[in-house]
Structure 1
Amino acid sequence: MAISETVLILAGGTVVLSIMFGIRVAIRAVANGAAAVPRPDGGEDAGGSGAPDLAGVIALPPLIFLGFLAVAVVLEVVIPLPASAAQVPAHYLGGAVLAACGFVIIFMAAGRFHAAGTNIPPTLPTTALVVDGIYRRTRNPFYLGAVFVYLGLGVAAGSFWAIGLVIPLLWVINTGVIAREERYLERKFGHAYRAYKARVRRWI
């Protein structure tokens, strides 16, 4: 059975993004967790609640995005949508623009985190509240950028499955990641974070 161009593009993009994520994890592992700041109090929250100094997200966000891409690939193989088979240059161009914008947003966010000296993975403690740069426009540039990259791949592949799955993907990110991070940041930074949340939107 011939593999459709949609499946090839979607699967190939998923593999490339997986490799990029794996390299990033490997670099962090080689650095021996240098970005993590050890806490003398046993990792308890600075707010004094006794809760662990972690957001408690359901999974690393990149794994969530990759998981939805993998589901889209399987659906394209098992139940291909006829309309998603046609490829035109506009799909490639539009997808490339979306993905490029997403990577730019992610790199801008990473730059602000590095400048502040705080951890990027939500599975590590947040040591500083970042509210400048791209964070003046959106409270979650990492996830906003990742959504653009995800949609860019879906558009380039002409995959209506991938594009349609963005709705449950956003629900999972909102409830399983962002909401938990927000509760953690309110607990840790108190009024400073509540004031920031009141003036900047969650997405855009």
Structure 2
Amino acid sequence: MAISETGLILAGGTVVLAIVFGIRVAVRVAAGGPVPSDGGEAAGTSGAPDVPGVIALPPLIFLGFLVAATVLEVLVPLPVKAGQALARYLAGAVLAVCGFVLIFMAAGRFQAAGTNIPPTLPTTSLVVDGIYRRTRNPFYLGTTLIYLGLGVAAGSLWAIALVIPLLWVINAGVIAPEERYLERKFGDAYRAYKARVRRWV
């Protein structure tokens, strides 16, 4: 069975993003950075582990949904008009570039604050400046834009439709545990921040 252009773009994009994520992890390990774990020192007096307890690393969740979209496109393709390919490529590229910019801005603020990026490691300081004045979750917003950019460029109605359950999983399995963790660790400072800045946009 021949794979459509849509399936090839999704599969290629998924492989590239997986490689980028793998390189980032390898660079952290080679530099002697902290190794992600499920536990840690107790936070405060509650005895809870000093990590949010997310269901999985967020990049793996996004990659999983891209794989699902790719498989669905191969098994049950939803055709799009081929004549709009250039517009799709341009729109997808703009979304992806905006997503990467948000991620780099967020990573810069975390690096400046000296805190960990992976949610499987302890948060050592509360970041509320820079891009964090506009959104509490620029990493996830940026990654969502990259995901949508790839889906739009590929013309994948499956990828676009799957963004709804994807965001539900991110909200329930990643962001909500992180928010409970940050409230537990930073108390009123985080609650005040949460009251003035939206979760997404």
TM-score (norm 1): 0.94
Deviation at 1:85? 6.0
Partner in structure 1 of residue 42 of structure 2: 44
Matched position secondary structure for 1:120: coil
Alignment counterpart, residue 76 of structure 2, candidates 53, 75, 79:
79
Measure how far apart 1:35 and its partner are: 8.4
| Structure 2 residue 131 is the aligned partner of structure 1 residue 134 | yes
State the alpha-carbon separation in 1 of the partners of residues 27 and 50 from structure 2.
24
After the TM superposition, which segments of 4 or more aligned residues of structure 1 sit over 4 Å from their partners?
Answer: 84-87
The answer to whether the aligner puts 1:26 opposite 2:23 as a matched pair is no
**Number of equivalent positions:** 198
What is the CA distance between 1:48 and its match in structure 2? 1.5
Query: Of 96, 100, 118, which aligns to 1:99?
Result: 96
Give the partner amino acid of 1:27.
V
> Which residue type is aligned with residue 69 of structure 1?
L
1:117 touches 1:127 (CA, 8 Å); kept in 2? Answer: yes
Matches within 5 A, 1:35-184: 43-45=41-43, 47-83=44-80, 87-184=84-181
Contact 1:139 1:197 in 2 (8 A): yes
Within 1, Cα distance between the matches of 2:11 and 2:3? 11
Secondary structure in 1 matching 2:158: helix
Matched residue SS, 2:28? helix
The Cα shift of 1:163 comes to 0.4
Of 178, 190, 201, the match for 1:193: 190
Looking at structure 1, the residues matched to 85 and 118 of structure 2 have their Cα atoms a distance apart, in angstroms, of 37
TM-score (norm 2): 0.95
Aligned to 1:7: 7
Q: CA RMSD in A?
A: 1.4
How many angstroms apart in 1 are the aligned matches of 2:93 and 2:176? 30
Query: What is the one-letter code of the residue matched to 1:150?
Result: Y
Identity among equivalent pairs (%): 79
Which amino acid in structure 2 is aligned with residue 30 of structure 1? A
Is this contact kept in 2: 1:186–1:194, CA < 8 A? Answer: yes
Quote how far apart the aligned CAs of 1:31 are.
1.8
- Give distance in 1, aligned partners of 2:116 and 2:131: 17
1:39 matched residue in structure 2 = none
Provide closer, same or farther for how the CA distance between residues 34 and 54 of structure 1 changes in structure 2, counting only shifts above 3 A.
Answer: closer
8 Å CA contact retained: 1:44, 1:50 = yes
Letter in 2 for 1:95: G
Q: Structure 2: which 5+ runs fail to align?
A: none
Letter in 2 for 1:43: E
Compute the displacement of 1:84 (Å): 6.6
Q: What letter matches 1:4 in structure 2?
A: S
